[in-house]
Structure 1
Amino acid sequence: MTVIGKYPFQLSPQDCDFREQVSLPALGDLILQAAGKSADENGFGMQKLNTANRTWVVSRMAIEMQRFPKWREWINIETWVEEVGRTSTTRHFRISDEYGKEIGGSSTLWAMIDVESRRAIDLKTIEGLSEAASGIPAVIDKPGRVPSVDGGTKKTHNVRYSDIDFNQHANSMKYVEWLLDSFSLDWHQNHYIKRFEINFLHEVLYGDQVEIFHKQDKMLSLFEIKKPDGNGVCKMKLEWQ
């Protein structure tokens, strides 16, 4: 079993924003790709789970960057499982440049569910998963509980074709795109993301309408996405510099 998986990625134009640096959604996607590669290599990835009608879902995620790498750069994403409980497992990431210098990190919390019932699977019953627990801590603080948004601004969004993935629900990184679209180009030009956290609560499907609440307090942005009936979809926090 590979305790720490290491995966190289070269940043392509579609990974980068107008500043020619990797966007937060694209970086999050690469992190999730690394998680998938590691899980597949160790025998508990999507390729095997799909045959048993099961899937992984990420419930919390945090990303911290010292700098965002640029177009054409090669980066390495190392990933490992720290611990495995009955209902959730922690997986961490170290992001380094092509010379091996650490430039960021991520920490995630995952659950496994039955695709049809949407009920959680006891992770202790998954062959090989407990043996993957390394005990190695994260390089950044683990994601916590993001607070609800009280007041602030509100806008609505209809979930469209470009938002959904093969599960026919909104892709997790689409939520991040929606929140970043709340800021002007001038804001993005003059501010950089120091830390990002997201708590996933419920999925949304094609055709659903969601309400996006945003509250800004200087260099701290809080977001909460809800369905019109008030049920929470996710909560996000951005710390800027």
Structure 2
Amino acid sequence: MEQLSKIGRYNFLAEPFHCDFSNHLFMGHLGNHLLNAADFHSNERGYGMNYLNTVNKTWVLSRLAIEMEEMPKAYDRFFVETWVDCAMKFFTSRNFKIIDESGFVYGYGKSVWAMIDLDTRQPVDILMVRNGLVNKYIEEEYLCPIERPSRVKMLVKSEPIRSIETYYSDVDVNGHINSVRYIEHVLNLWDLSWYKEYFIKRFEIAYVAESHQGDKLNFYLEQNEYSVFNVRITKSNADEEEKEVCRCSLLFVKRD
């Protein structure tokens, strides 16, 4: 296989029905574009889902941080650049850069991915796949100047502020609740009046366990500073005790 460039660049459109009241792209749809870019990049280079599914493996998102100066507006065409800057036995680190046609940088993203066996759901050695092919595409020099996803710390668990059921449209190709659906559910914890005053500067999410259709998701919220919030999501069902599935951190800034 011919070796491609280490950095992939993919064209997207901020479709109007993917935009919010302010005429800007929803954070959840931006998250989908980032994950699509990651999928395109890894598939083109031979270690993506298209190959992994033939050997009963898949990629799962472990952590994601998105930090934006501005969101694309409706009908804006923009690019997502993506590259892997580190590969270890059980995790890879992948970066994103969101830019427009003129080179204006909307923002950046950083993510951590694991590879799992589809039957056992346990991590597998990434460096054993195709003799460590991913190592040929490590790019350490290209700039991604945001902080890596952090460990979100929360205090003693209180009562959930919201609990929701999960359904068909929450489930992705891996059979569990879609990574971006958690983001959308978290952002719904604030109402429209809040978003008229505040912009999401940075969003972080760390995935702890899988949840599935039929699980109830419970949301716990803590406020660290005036516009910094942490969220814990747990799952509960008739067969198991309540279990944490992910944690988030959000930084809001005042709109101009």
Q: Shift of residue 152 of structure 1?
A: 6.8
Alignment match of 1:178 (pick from 173, 176, 185): 185
SS at match of 1:7: strand
Alpha-carbon distance in structure 2 between the residues aligned to 1:230 and 1:206: 15
Cα pair 2:59 2:116 within 8 Å, conserved:
yes
Matches within 5 A, 1:60-209: 60-127=63-130, 128-136=133-141, 138-150=144-156, 151=158, 153-209=160-216
Q: Shift of residue 169 of structure 1?
A: 1.5
Q: Shift of residue 227 of structure 1?
A: 2.1
Residue of structure 1 equivalent to 2:252: 240
Q: Shift of residue 119 of structure 1?
A: 1.1
Structure 1, 121-130 or 72-81: larger mean CA deviation: 121-130
SS at match of 1:37: helix
Instruction: After superposition, give the CA deviation of every residue in 1:91-126 in whole Å (9 maximum; x if it has no partner).
Output: 001111121111200000011000111111111112
Alpha-carbon distance in structure 1 between the residues aligned to 2:80 and 2:179: 19
Q: Shift of residue 10 of structure 1?
A: 0.9
SS at match of 1:135: coil
Structure 1, 160-169 or 73-82: larger mean CA deviation: 160-169
Cα pair 1:31 1:93 within 8 Å, conserved:
yes
User: Which residues of structure 2 form unaligned runs of 5+?
Assistant: none
Alpha-carbon distance in structure 1 between the residues aligned to 2:86 and 2:169: 35
Q: Shift of residue 30 of structure 1?
A: 0.3
Cα pair 1:152 1:214 within 8 Å, conserved:
no
- The one-letter code sitting in structure 2 at the alignment partner of 1:148 is M
Alpha-carbon distance in structure 2 between the residues aligned to 1:49 and 1:80: 19
Alpha-carbon distance in structure 1 between the residues aligned to 2:159 and 2:234: 14
Instruction: After superposition, give the CA deviation of every residue in 1:55-107 in whole Å (9 maximum; x if it has no partner).
Output: 00010000000101101001111111101100101000111112111120000
Q: Shift of residue 21 of structure 1?
A: 0.4
Cα pair 2:47 2:129 within 8 Å, conserved:
yes
Matches within 5 A, 1:11-90: 11-90=14-93
Cα pair 2:117 2:124 within 8 Å, conserved:
yes
Report % sequence identity: 34
Q: Shift of residue 149 of structure 1?
A: 4.9
Alpha-carbon distance in structure 2 between the residues aligned to 1:166 and 1:46: 10
Cα pair 1:106 1:139 within 8 Å, conserved:
no
Alpha-carbon distance in structure 2 between the residues aligned to 1:167 and 1:112: 12
Residue of structure 1 equivalent to 2:222: 215
Alpha-carbon distance in structure 2 between the residues aligned to 1:203 and 1:14: 29
Instruction: After superposition, give the CA deviation of every residue in 1:188-210 in whole Å (9 maximum; x if it has no partner).
Output: 11100111100001111111112
- C-alpha RMSD of matched pairs (Å): 1.3
SS at match of 1:192: strand
Q: Shift of residue 39 of structure 1?
A: 0.3
Structure 1, 146-155 or 209-218: larger mean CA deviation: 146-155
- The one-letter code sitting in structure 2 at the alignment partner of 1:199 is A
Alpha-carbon distance in structure 2 between the residues aligned to 1:149 and 1:210: 19
Cα pair 2:94 2:110 within 8 Å, conserved:
yes
Cα pair 1:201 1:233 within 8 Å, conserved:
yes
- The one-letter code sitting in structure 2 at the alignment partner of 1:131 is K
